[in-house]
Structure 1
Amino acid sequence: MTRQIVLNAFDMNCVTHIVAGTWRHPESQAARYKDLEYWTDLAKLLERGLFDGLFIADVLGIYDVYAGGPEAALRSGAQVPVNDPLLVVPAMAAATQHLGFGITAATSFEHPYSFARRMSTLDHLTKGRVGWNIVTGYLESAARNHGLDTITPHADRYDIADEYTEVLYKLWEGSWEDDAVGAEPGRAHYADPAKVHPIEHLGKHFRVPGIHLCEPSIQRTPVLYQAGASHRGKQFGAENAEVIFIGAPTKEVLREAVADIRTRASDAGRDPYDVKIVNGHVAVTGASPQAARDRYEDFRRYTDPEGALALWSGWLGSDLSRFDLDDPVAVTDNEYLKSSVQMFGQGQWTLRDFIDAHAIDAEGGFSVGGPTEVADDLQSWVEETDVDGFNLTNVITPGSFADFIDHVVPELQRRGVYKTAYEEGSLRHKLFGRGARLPESHRAARYRRVTEEATR
């Protein structure tokens, strides 16, 4: 069977997610992010395009590294103000039947006991269509506003995440037996106490003695997403994640990253293809190549360099206002920035060149063209790198997604590399085709009390 491309829409509950400034475009509806109808309309659009999921980013802090304050981020709406990603999901689920929802939540700022209940509730309400994007947090402002003096050191954050997920797996997978609950006529009791178990967790970071508050949902554990790029982050992903997000700008970089992830997953005792790998991608398209190029040039007129600098300063943890925009990137003290430029083969780029080049294609690959050109490009990324699919970032919302669905999806379907209908069942079953539950090879399976038969 021809390999089917996985497609997620990448968005955030704010006016500016990745591409700063384009909320001002006359077609953009980004400023409607506060309206529930914006989200339900987006969900219905994505389901029309047979997208696997809507991947919702989130932060719990402000981008205040640039110029030492939040002013640039506030002026550009760069991920602030930002609303809670979880609260829009039930309405979107009610408006759709198949679309999955990947929700970003950090292990650093919420106790796992309450988080377990929130995700189980969503899995119930969505009928098994929810995923969790596991992040550890990276903004100093988030740490300070949650009562910490500074962000926890990187390695320690992953130690916390290891225990955090252990607590969750115990709650989701082991606290309630499959047949602990029954509501059939004539049954005297709703839940059998003998089949509901306290997890008795006592660890370095968390103490959770009791039972999970929710009865088992369709998936029990939501589909697990992750995007760590460091050595420690990659190892965590290999042991836990089912979908890993990468932001590789070239096929060479992506090919190496995909091979590394699959090797790490195998070393962790998993099938290397139990992990779906998706790369960030921006596709600007139209009915013809010229229409797409015209659209791209139109979008560029609305980009906001100051907003881009605010975002990049936060992502890099380095105040880019310290440098003149016409300074070569080589003079900066940020190794990620310098290596990023080298990956593009542009060693003499100035900071202005870098920001200009990344005004739209900030995370991952980039395509501008008609349906044939974009489909060719996406297929070549899959065939040459072994990646499973893409997280599509919008330039304007929902217009970028609508353009892709109207022009590129039919071409991918014509080639047999993209589905023409959804499978029934949970998000996990749609992605992997073998039921709603995690496989026995996953780390979480060790916390099950009995061998469970996966259900659809």
Structure 2
Amino acid sequence: MFLPGMTYASVRSQITDIRSTSTQQQGRQATSIKLIIGILIIVDETDAAAQARYNEYLDKYSDDEDFQFSDHGGIRSLISSWSETIPGSEGIRWTKSRVARELALGGPHPKAVGSGATVADVLEAWVRETGVDGFNVSYAVSPGDFGNVVRFLVPEMKRRGVFWDNVGAEGCTMRENYSGDGGGGRLRDDHHGSRYAWGATK
């Protein structure tokens, strides 16, 4: 299940509610539903290099119109919570064009900008603070950003022992590889969809 949210509190609240509902009302195991959030990753050899790359991406857009978010409480609240997830944004005037520029890179998702170690810290913090199962990694430039993830982030995550490196066991279904719970290749009995199985052996 893909979740929206740009702050720990927002995502944690959704995860708590989903897992509580699935266990108390549907009798499912708390971890049977995998919960994923989107995140933009800009990673490079150092924090400074990653920040320079991020700024370079943003410099392709111009701030040609000012717009103060001061009269509408909902917009002000959104910008306030969102800006907390964006590195290096202290003191920035959140003009209309500035918001459009930020949305252009990764959409309304958290952002992780820095070295492999810095980005790994960010990802681990999201898991620790919210209980999220994983990330849907977005990009600003393809294939360059993905190449940098492989080059700078994956080795750091392997070093920490938090990278899932043995996905795709031979003879297993995609469901088995993804869930990793030993529940077999078909929907588990506690899955809502299992009641619609017809003419199939378990």
Give the TM interval when normalised to the shorter protein: 0.7 to 0.9
Higher relative contact order (CA 8 A, sep 6+): 2
Distance 2:163 2:127 in 1: 12
Contact (CA 8 Å) 1:286, 1:370: kept in 2 or not?
Answer: yes
2:31 aligned with 1:284: no
Give the equivalent residue in structure 1 for 2:192.
443
- Shift of residue 304, structure 1, vs aligned partner: 7.5
Contact (CA 8 Å) 2:61, 2:101: kept in 1 or not?
Answer: no
Give the equivalent residue in structure 2 for 1:351.
96
- Shift of residue 361, structure 1, vs aligned partner: 4.0
Query: SS at the partner of 1:368?
Result: strand
Runs (5+) with no aligned partner, structure 1: 1-243, 307-324
2:10 aligned with 1:253: yes
Give the equivalent residue in structure 2 for 1:218.
none
| Residue-pair matches, total | 189
Contact (CA 8 Å) 1:303, 1:359: kept in 2 or not?
Answer: no
The correspondence for 2:68, drawn from 328, 345, 351, is 328
Larger radius of gyration: 1
Give the equivalent residue in structure 1 for 2:178.
431
Q: Could you list the per-position Cα deviations for residues 27-71 of structure 1 after superposition, in whole angstroms to 9, with x for gaps in the alignment?
A: xxxxxxxxxxxxxxxxxxxxxxxxxxxxxxxxxxxxxxxxxxxxx
2:150 aligned with 1:405: yes
Query: SS at the partner of 1:274?
Result: coil
Give the equivalent residue in structure 1 for 2:120.
375
Q: Aligned AA for 1:394? A: Y
Q: Aligned AA for 2:41? A: A
Give the equivalent residue in structure 2 for 1:193.
none
Give the equivalent residue in structure 1 for 2:201.
452
Distance 1:260 1:326 in 2: 39
Distance 1:268 1:248 in 2: 25
Quickly say closer, same or farther: Cα 1:401–1:415, change in 2 above 3 A: same
The normalised TM-score by structure 1 is 0.38
Give the equivalent residue in structure 2 for 1:364.
109
Give the equivalent residue in structure 1 for 2:78.
340
Distance 1:252 1:290 in 2: 29
Give the equivalent residue in structure 1 for 2:55.
297
The correspondence for 2:161, drawn from 416, 437, 440, is 416
Runs (5+) with no aligned partner, structure 2: 85-92
Quickly say closer, same or farther: Cα 1:415–1:251, change in 2 above 3 A: same
Quickly say closer, same or farther: Cα 1:389–1:305, change in 2 above 3 A: farther
Query: SS at the partner of 1:363?
Result: coil
Query: SS at the partner of 2:11?
Result: helix
Q: Could you list the per-position Cα deviations for residues 267-308 of structure 1 after superposition, in whole angstroms to 9, with x for gaps in the alignment?
A: 2332221111111101101112222122112211224789xx
Contact (CA 8 Å) 1:246, 1:364: kept in 2 or not?
Answer: no
Contact (CA 8 Å) 1:249, 1:365: kept in 2 or not?
Answer: yes
